[in-house]
Amino acid sequence: MFESPYIKINEHGIDFIKNYQVDMHIDYCEIITIHLKKGHLINNWILSLILSLLLIAYSLKWLISSFMTFEIQILSGPNARGYLVFKFIIPILLFIGGSILTYLATKPSPIISIKTNHKRYKIPLIEFKRSGALNDLIAFLSERVNLV
C-alpha cells in the first residue's frame, strides 16, 4: 500500500484523502488511463508566477524609492522605528515573499493524472519521490491500469 497526505493506493483502488479522511474511492476498473509526468505543485502556477513577479517588481521599486528619499535626521526623532520599518523592512519582506512564491510556482514535481469516464484528477507525488517509493508505485500501477 502506498500512502501520502493526498492519496492512498492499494490493491482495491485509489482513495483520495481530504482532511485526513478518505474523500472518494476509485476502483481500477473505472480508470481509463493514468499519466505520470512532471508538473507544478500549484494548480494556477502561471497566475502565481505573474503575481510573484509583480510583487518582486513593486518591492524593488519601493526599496529604491526609499533609498532615494532617505533622511538621516528622522532617525534621531521619536518615529525612527516606524520610519525604518515602513521604508526598508516591509519592502524586503515583500521581496522575500515574492521570491519564495516564484520558486514554488516554477518548481517541477512528479504528478499523477488519473482519467476516468467522468473526471480527471491531478495529484502531486512529491512524498513518494522523497521517500524513494516512486519506482515501486509505477511498477504497482503498471500491473493494474493503462499507465502512460
Query: Given pLDDT bands bounded at 50, 70 and 90, which one contains residue 5?
Result: confident
Task: Give yes or no: residues 49 and 72 share one domain.
Answer: yes
Domain extent, residue 98, equals: 45-106
**Angle, alpha carbons 142-144-148 (nearest 5°):** 40
Are residue 87 and residue 123 in the same domain, yes or no? Answer: no
What is the C-alpha separation between 28 and 34, in angstroms, rounded? 10
Is the same domain home to 101 and 114?
Answer: no
Least confident of 13-22, 69-78, 99-108: 69-78
For the stretch 80-137, pLDDT in tens is: 888 888 889 999 999 999 999 999 999 988 898 888 888 888 888 888 888 888 888 8
The SS3 call for residue 118 is: coil
Q: Is the same domain home to 49 and 101?
A: yes
- Say what the pTM is: 0.73
Count of structural domains, the chain: 2
